Homo-oligomer: A and B are copies of this chain.
Amino acid sequence: MSRPNFTEETASDIVLSRMSDDISPRLREVMTSILRHVHAIVREVEPTQDEWLQAILFLTRTGQLSNDVRQEFILLSDTMGVSMLVDAINNRKGQGGTESTVLGPFYAVGSPELPLGANIAREPGGQPCFLSGHVLAPDHSPIVGARLDVWHSNSHGFYNVQQLETQPEGNLRGVFHTDAEGRWCFQSIMPSSYPVPEDGTVGNLLRAMGRHAWRPAHVHFIISAPGYQTLTTHLFVNGDKYLESDAVFGVKDSLIVDFIRHDDPRELAERGLTQPFYTAAYEFVLEPLSATIDGHASRRLPQTTRAGDD
């Protein structure tokens, strides 16, 4: 027969040869890489039939745990460093823009539009915190009307979308726009460190790998402005004990910010507060859209015929 036998040696070539000549070149490129590496894993690991079945069931349960408010495969991607690697590849900066990090699983569209300075904390508790700064172009000129979509966990480490029944609507979320000087500011409470969900397949895997599930305290930002690349990032609280072991590898040195404690009675009185508060400042720098296009064009040169990619 002309068909070569499927063996450990021929397996990958046989499977790859089944792809038709007229399929999407991008799909061919992606599937060739995936199949060669997945087969290489099998050859290296030599799974028993039982181990193979464990892998099948792990993947199946990971899919079945995902729903409207939980995405266990994104959590798997995050905790295995895949999401941050994709982020790094898609955000090769050339012009000194602020570094990006993972979106995370708790972003939700439709946060309330608020005036600069508003307080996004809608439940009692937590330590008051004032965040401010500017959104700037690479030449440090202000970007007027830049949109900041912000969200963070409460003092117990839970996001609004995780506790829709117990947290007030829109708690610790808001959309702001920079003023004529490119300035942004809002009031909130200190974010806290928290574990990613540990009650699913990913939690089991982290435990088996001897890893903790904690993320250091941070505030999420998506910052956009016409003519500029949208920036998805966090500001991390300096001093957090999990900065060096973030369960999703999201920390970058340039995103760690001092949250300064203020307990001078006169400062408290000025702000109408009776307890100590924190302040943090950060200057975001957005890169112009043309940099993205150039960057992508050079990175994507072999696949310029692909449509709908960028």
Beta-carbon contact of A42 and B89 below 8 Å: yes
Count copies of this chain in the complex.
2
Q: Is chain A's binding surface mostly helix, strand, loop or mixed? A: helix
Any B CB within 8 A of the CB of A114: no
| Partner among B50, B59, B253 whose Cβ is within 8 Å of the Cβ of A62 | B59
What's the minimum C-beta distance from A243 to chain B, rounded to whole angstroms? 7
Contacting residues, chain B, for A1 (C-beta < 8 A): 243-244, 253
Q: Which of A81-108 contact B (CB under 8 A)?
A: 81-86, 88-90
Contacting residues, chain B, for A253 (C-beta < 8 A): 1, 5
Any B CB within 8 A of the CB of A274: no
Q: Which residue of B lies closest to A212 (CB)?
A: B18
The stretch among A22-30, A154-162, A278-286 that forms the contact with chain B is A22-30
Any B CB within 8 A of the CB of A63: yes
Beta-carbon contact of A59 and B59 below 8 Å: yes
Q: Which residue of B lies closest to A47 (CB)?
A: B86
Chain A residue total in the interface (Cβ 8 A): 77
Beta-carbon contact of B2 and A48 below 8 Å: no
The stretch among A6-14, A132-140, A165-173, A180-188 that forms the contact with chain B is A6-14
Q: Which residue of B lies closest to A61 (CB)?
A: B63
Contacting residues, chain B, for A41 (C-beta < 8 A): 33-34, 37
Q: Which residue of B lies closest to A12 (CB)?
A: B81
Beta-carbon contact of A51 and B30 below 8 Å: yes
A306 to B249: give the CA distance in the assembly, Å.
Answer: 31
- A residues sitting closer than 8 Å to B (CB atoms) are 1-3, 5-8, 11-12, 14-15, 18-24, 27, 29-31, 33-35, 37-52, 56, 59-64, 66, 71, 73-74, 77, 80-86, 88-90, 208-211, 243-245, 249, 251-253, 299, 309-310
